[in-house]
Structure 1
């Protein structure tokens, strides 16, 4: 497995994030603020990425907003650029880990109430063809409990439009 570049914020940046947009009971806020000892594969002022603790595929990463943000049901049309950037970061992390077949990848979000952490997080799974039966159920595209990133973007883009 190829090494992954780690970009971690300086301590000054972490304290700034901690005072604004930080939920002290949120596990993902703690991870992003280096309170859990989890390796951050990417961290900037907008989004962060780390490995899923219970991987559903050989490559399973979570891309989260660096500042606490609610689940995908709380998003509006104005969040489309953020979601697109989360997907792009997921693709970059996969490529850094020698995953070049992006047709065998799953990008998506658990749809509330089926999300265990309320901090918005994108699941990046690859190769999808190597997911276990249970993972195929848990991360089943366009089910009641999991929505593909592109479908969420379409849903958000259509918010506010009248028919």
Structure 2
């Protein structure tokens, strides 16, 4: 599923996924995905789920990546439940649209409880944020027309 070949620049998320970033606590992982804490949390629980393979961002995705996004969502919810979050209606799951993503490697933001997001966090991750694309909206775009084109 390699999305970008011949990358010459360093990617911190690739280093985390490959286990060469020793300061990162891995919360969950499998052959395809890795989940860890966000270094600048916007909620009491703020995690990132990334694919091990480098994928540029959500605009790099195509219809054939729907299952990847669904597996990322599944891991996100499993980690939240492992951390004691039982109300999966009070969460925010989504991706920042370029150029508003800080690391150019696909990463799903996992935030809970959503009702405890600060006003600053709501600007970045809230329902009114025009640069935060929820999993549901991304999947809708991928199923209907291809990658999001905001």
TM-score (norm 1): 0.81
Q: Identify unmatched segments of 5+ residues in structure 2.
A: none
- Residues 23, 33 of structure 1: alpha-carbon distance in 2 compared, 3 angstrom cutoff: farther
CA contact (8 A) 1:23 1:68 kept: no
Structure 1 residues without counterparts, runs of 5 or longer: 1-19
Whichever structure has more helix as a proportion of its residues is 1
CA distance 1:156–1:142, shift in 2 (3 Å): farther
Q: Which moved more, 1:44-53 or 1:138-147?
A: 138-147
> How many pairs align?
141
Provide closer, same or farther for how the CA distance between residues 21 and 157 of structure 1 changes in structure 2, counting only shifts above 3 A. farther
- Maintained 8 Å contact 1:108/1:141: no
Answer with 1 or 2: which has the greater Rg. 1
TM-score, reference length from structure 2: 0.88
* Pair 1:31-2:16 in alignment: yes
- In the other structure, the counterpart of 1:153 is 139
Corresponding residue for 1:106? 92
Regions of 4+ moved over 2 Å = 20-24, 140-144
CA contact (8 A) 2:122 2:129 kept: no
Do residues 73 (structure 1) and 59 (structure 2) align?
A: yes
CA RMSD in angstroms comes to 1.8
How far did residue 145 of structure 1 move?
1.0
